[in-house]
Every structure is written in C-alpha cells, then in structure tokens.
Structure 1
Amino acid sequence: MISNEPIEKLSEFTEFVESLPNEFMLSRGQAGEYDLLPSSLRLDKSNIRKYSRMASQYFLNEFKINSHNYMRFPTDINSEYEWMVYAQHYGIPTRLLDFTFSHVVSLMFAVENAFEDEENKDAEVWFLNPIQLNNKFAHRSEILNIANGESLNLENYEGPIAIKSRKLNERINAQNGLFVYFQDVINPVESPLNKIVDENILKRLVIKGEYKKDILSSLYSMGIGFTTLYPELQSVSKDIIMKLNIQEYLRAGDE
C-alpha cells in the first residue's frame, strides 16, 4: 500500500493513473478517510459491529420476501450473492464493497459532495489489483464471476475477494461497477481491505480537501456529473444545482 502526496488538480490525478501498472484496474472513491469495509461489517465508535450476523441475514431475507411486487423479474435472481447485489442497490447493508473499472467515476465519487463539505475534509481514491487480491485469498487468477453457473461458496476463501455479476440495475451499468466480497467475521476490526499492507494489491491517493471544488469543476467541464453516476431523474436536479454552485465558485475566484 502506497500513500502519495495529496493531489490538487485533475491533471495530477490523470498523471497518477497513467503511472499505475495496468493490473490496478479497479478503484473506489471515498469522500473521507474511511476503512474499506462493506456496510454490514462497519463498526461503531467502540469498534463493535453495527449489525450482528443475525441482523444482516434478517435484512436480506426480509428484502427477498418484500421486494417481489416491486421487481419486474424476481425469479431471475439466481443466487444468494446476486440477491446481495440487488439488495445493496436499494440500501440493504451487505458484505459487498463497491468498486469500479472507471477511475474517473471513482474520482467523481470522492469529490461529488465538495460544495456540501463545510470542513473541507480530504477525500481518497483506492486502486486495487483484483488478480493479486484473489491470488492471495482464493488462489484464483481471475475476478470470480458469480453469474457463470459455477458453484461457488465465497465463505470458503481466506479473505476478501473480487467478484463480478450481471449488471442488475442501471447504476451498476453506468458506474461500470463490481464488488469485493467480505467473509462474515465476528469481529471485523482487522478485516478492512486497507489493512492489507501490500503495494502489489492496493494503492491510495489522497485528494486535498480545499481543492475538491476545483477538481469537481474540472470534471464538470469534461461532461461528468451526477447523471454519470446515477442515471435517474433526481440526478438531473442535482446537476442543475451543481452547475450553479460551480459557476458561482469560479466567478468568485476571478474577482
């Protein structure tokens, strides 16, 4: 794992990405410096799981029972893992952590709330080599495909692993997304992906907090906005507001 000097410009991000080995094909952007843990394994201030194993399974089971009337093809979900993918999209805590093949999408995730962040917190983008990750924990030299008919028990592996599935909703498709699956450990204190101290698997880039607005403005000038991440009507409204925020911010900078 490598911690680099914080970046201040989109061009510096591009330069870093161009210097990455091709194997670092996945990334994840975060608005703050957080552990790389999925929602169902995250910890409270006392380092205790917010959700027990029983609660996490309850959430998923209840989603299965209550979602059918709202799904076009509910019988098309083929496995427990695909149910996790689908349920996470609608806010159910799962053991899946989102990543993307698009590094610019990750950067947008890192800075998307720049105008709401009053503290100017540093953001970060993590870059992952999924092949090395899966070699380490699953002894497989590939991203595991949970939709190809292979009988997989992801609990049999020794640590978090990169998986891909069918693109079951518009967001996964728009974000070119896939996941890292975490085993259901009792105490996940040592489970965050960022605890892996191996520069052949994981690299980190910090975005300096006071420059997030500049980077967001640059992304917007390249046609990247909320509708890029979330292809839905609400994002149109968010892009309109972001456009005005950027215009006023740039105008203030010229004065």
Structure 2
Amino acid sequence: MAYEDYVEEITVEGVEDLFDYITGRKNIPDLREDFIFRGVKSSKYELIPSSLRKDDDGEFEIDKYLKGEFPDNRVLKENIVLFDFLEMADKQGFKIPIPQKFREFFHKYVKSDRDYVLEPWPTYDYFEAISLAQHYGIPTCALDWSYDYKVALYFSVIGVLEDKHKDDDCVLWAFNHKTFESSRDSIKNFKDVKLWINRNIPAVSYRPAYNDNPNLNAQKGLFTFVIQKPSDYSGKSLDQLISDELDACMKNEGNEVTIFEKNSGHRITLKEDEKVFYKFIIPQDLKAKILNDLYIDGYTEEKIFPGYASIAESIENRVKLDKLLGRK
C-alpha cells in the first residue's frame, strides 16, 4: 500500500464544503467522534514537533533556548530546555507536574554539567511536564491537537491576519487516533519505554490534566508523542512515519486491512477505505471567510485564550478581519 492509502489529501472548495467533509455529509465518515485535529498556518509545514523544526534561516528553533555549544543530540537539547523551564517555574513557586520521586533527580540534574540525558525520550512520567512546557511555547517533542475541530481550524486560518502567513494556503489535519490506538495496550502499561521503542509504531496520544490550565481546557487540547532513541530518529513527519510503519506491518483480510506489530503481536484494523489521516488544504482566499464563521460561532480569542489580554487581541483582530472582508 502507498502513503495515499493511509492519508487522504483534500483541497476544500468553500466554507460549507469543509464543514460537510468533517461532519460526514461528503464521501468520508463523520470525523468528530474518532479523530483529533491540528491546525497549521501554512501548507509548507509538516507534522514535526517544535523541537525538531527549523526556522526560515534553516536553524533549529530549539537552539534559540540554549546557551553555549551542545552536541547535535535532539534528546539532550530537549532535556536541557525542559529542565530549565521546570527549574525556573519551581523556584518561582509554580506547580511543576513531575512525580515526587523525581525531585531529587531534578535538582541533581540542574546542578550538574548537563551531561546526563533521559534516553529513550520522552518517558511516560514526563508527559505532563512536556505538555505544560509545550503549551507555553517551549520547543518540545510533542505535537498539539484538539478534540474540537473548530479550535484547530482557528489556528489554521488565523494566519490570514499575519503578514508572514496571510498569503499561504493553510491545513487542517485530522488524525484517526481512536482506531489507531483502540487495539493497543493502555499507555499505563508502557511506563517502561524500552517496550515502546521495540514496537514498530512507537507513537501515542496523551491528554494532560485540564484543571490547572484554563487555556488547555478551552482548547480541548491533547498531544502526540513518538518515543524514540536519538539513533532511531529518521526526520520523518508524523503522518509519514506512521504510514511507513503501518505499511511494513500490513496484512489484507477481506474488506479490512490489519496491521500486526511484529514485535508485540498487537493489531490495528482499518476498515475498507478508512484513513489514518485526512489533510484538508484550505486555499488562501477562504481563510478570512472561515475565520469570520468561527467568530460568529464563538470561536474567538477570548474563548480560546481566556483572559483580559485575549479580549483586547480579539477587538484588534476583528477590525483587521473587517478590513479584509471589505466591511466598514
């Protein structure tokens, strides 16, 4: 099977066209139940975590958070930046979501010469901390998703108000995470990450606690992780990685495709024509119209980022949007 058998790319033709696809009124299933969603401001961007992305000058974004010279080891760099974030938050009296048993290690680590690295990475016990850091802009190995497709869609089309992305087509990704993980062992059974890296597809989704993070709660957010050793990192995007590994384990069974993970015996079953990913490409000339529809539906800055600052931003953005739409 080819990449296209797992990932369907659709260029939408209008606002209602996009909503019809997502809600099952087109020739694909209703995506709202089993899929999670990610908005990307430019179709040039891939499903690659922020710690592994490069800026327009070809430099890794995470390097902006590092002092001095470090080996080209993405796990080492992620560890250093994450622990700097946790140390500073801890010293300011903010709650940091790491298990109590790691506190001794945490303080020992930040006082060391930083030559120690958690490997493979990430470990289950740090999922919550990584999720927190990612949400506040620290480059990590996590990818942001939302259960609510309109939240993800907001993050896709809001680039129309930015100089950098206003002329780019944007993308709404949908990931069939329930089918993908339904037959796999609970993540709680994989605290030993050595078990995870011996699997063909070491990817997992994780929902952090909402109660202490109003933004994450408003955005109905969750994250995907790929647990790997640095030596196993291929540079592939999440969709390419999963598609390639599924194909390597695939077995046809009538109207279904069953993927057996050879190192675990577990299976993932896809129904005929069922996809793991949908990639909705949204042309540039639709972005302002879609953003206007989202605003009307209440998907505004003050909803997605609760707080006074977002209310001020919302007022400014509505003026910008009115100008784009030719409204007085």
**Normalised-by-shorter TM-score class:** 0.7 to 0.9
Query: For residue 170 of structure 2, what is the amino acid of its counterpart?
Result: A
Match of 2:42 among 22, 32, 43: 32
Q: Which runs of 4+ in 1 moved over 4 A?
A: 43-51, 186-190
Unaligned regions of 5+ residues in structure 1, if any?
Answer: none
Helix, strand or coil: the match of 1:4? strand
Report sequence identity in percent.
Answer: 23
In the alignment, is the contact (CA less than 8 A) between 1:163 and 1:178 conserved in 2? Answer: yes
* 1:232 aligned residue (296, 303, 307): 307
Q: What is the match of residue 207 of structure 2? A: 164
Q: Distance in 1 between matches of 2:148 and 2:193?
A: 25
What is the correspondence of 1:1-255 to structure 2 with a 5 Å cutoff?
1-9=7-15, 11-19=16-24, 20-22=29-31, 24-33=34-43, 34-43=45-54, 52-74=74-96, 77-78=98-99, 79-117=125-163, 119-134=166-181, 140=184, 144=187, 152-154=191-193, 156-157=195-196, 158-167=201-210, 168-184=212-228, 185-186=230-231, 188-195=233-240, 196-197=242-243, 200-252=275-327
In structure 2, what is the Cα distance between the partners aligned to 1:2 and 1:45?
28
Please give the TM-score of this superposition, normalised by the length of structure 1.
Answer: 0.82
User: 1:40·1:56 contact (CA, 8 Å) conserved in 2?
Assistant: yes
Structure 1: how far apart are the matches of 2:79 and 2:170? 32
Give the CA deviation at 1:45.
7.6
Distance 1:130-1:68 versus aligned 2 partners, 3 A rule: same
Q: How many pairs align?
A: 243
Question: 1:18/1:194 Cα in 2 relative to 1: closer, same or farther (>3 Å)?
Answer: same
CA distance in 1, matches of 2:95, 2:297: 36
Indicate conservation of the 8 Å contact 1:53/1:186, yes or no: no
Question: Which secondary structure state, in structure 2, belongs to the residue aligned with residue 205 of structure 1?
Answer: strand
Q: Deviations over 1:162-220 (max 9, x none)?
A: 12221241221110011101224447444311214475211110111122111111211
- Paired residue type of 1:163: Y
SS state at 2:127 partner: helix
2-side partners of 1:207 and 1:128: how far apart? 17
Structure 1 residues 230, 188: closer, same or farther in 2, change over 3 A? farther
SS in 2 for 1:106: helix
Deviation at residue 47 of structure 1 after TM alignment: 8.3
Worse-matched range after superposition: 124-133 or 18-27: 18-27
TM-score, with length taken from structure 2: 0.65
Secondary structure (helix, strand or coil) at the match of 1:223 reads coil
Gap change, CA 1:247 and 1:119, over 3 Å in 2: closer
**Does the 8 Å contact 2:61/2:139 carry over to 1?**
no
What root-mean-square deviation, in Å, do the aligned CA atoms of Structure 1 and Structure 2 show? 2.8
Residue identity opposite 1:41 in structure 2: L
Distance 2:194 2:134 in 1: 19
Query: Quick one: distance in 2 between partners of 1:43 and 1:107?
Result: 23
Higher relative contact order (CA 8 A, sep 6+): 1
Q: After superposition, give the CA deviation of every residue in 1:97-125 in whole Å (9 maximum; x if it has no partner).
A: 01110001011110112122465110001
Q: Does the CA-based 8 Å contact 2:144-2:222 persist in structure 1?
A: yes
| Counterpart AA for 2:238 | L
